[in-house]
Amino acid sequence: MINLLLAPKNEPLRIVKIKGNKVLDKALWQRLQDMGFLHDANISVISESGGNIIVKVKDSKIAIGKEIAKTIYVV
C-alpha cells in the first residue's frame, strides 16, 4: 500500500484507503467521493504538473494537490 505521490505512472491501481487529516475537511471528503475517489475505485496516475498530480479516475482526468494525494492510498 502506497500513497498516490509514490505510485508509478500509467499503472492500473485501486484505492484501498483515504486517510483523513487536517487537509481533508468534511466538504472536501464529500467532493472527492463525488468525483469517484471511493474505496476499491480504479485509478491511475497520469503525470505531475505544477505541483499537482494528474490522475484518471472513472473516465475523467482530475488534478489534485500533493497534500490530498498523500492521503489516498492505493495498491
**Residue pLDDT, tens place only, 45-68:** 999 988 899 999 999 999 999 999
CATH of residue 36's domain is 2.30.30.90
Q: Are 15 and 72 in contact (CB under 8 A)?
A: yes
Which residues in 53-63 are b (16+ Cβ under 10 Å) and which e?
A: bbbbbeeeebe
Domain that holds residue 15: 2-74
The pTM score is 0.88
Structural domain count, the chain: 1
Q: State the average pLDDT over residues 7-34.
A: 87
* Whole-number pLDDT of residue 51: 85
Q: State the average pLDDT over residues 19-46.
A: 87
Is residue 30 pLDDT above 80, yes or no? Answer: yes
DSSP 3-40: ETTTSPBT--EEEEEE---TT--HHHHHHHHHTT--TT
* Whole-number pLDDT of residue 7: 96
Nearest to 37 by CA among 51, 19, 10: 19
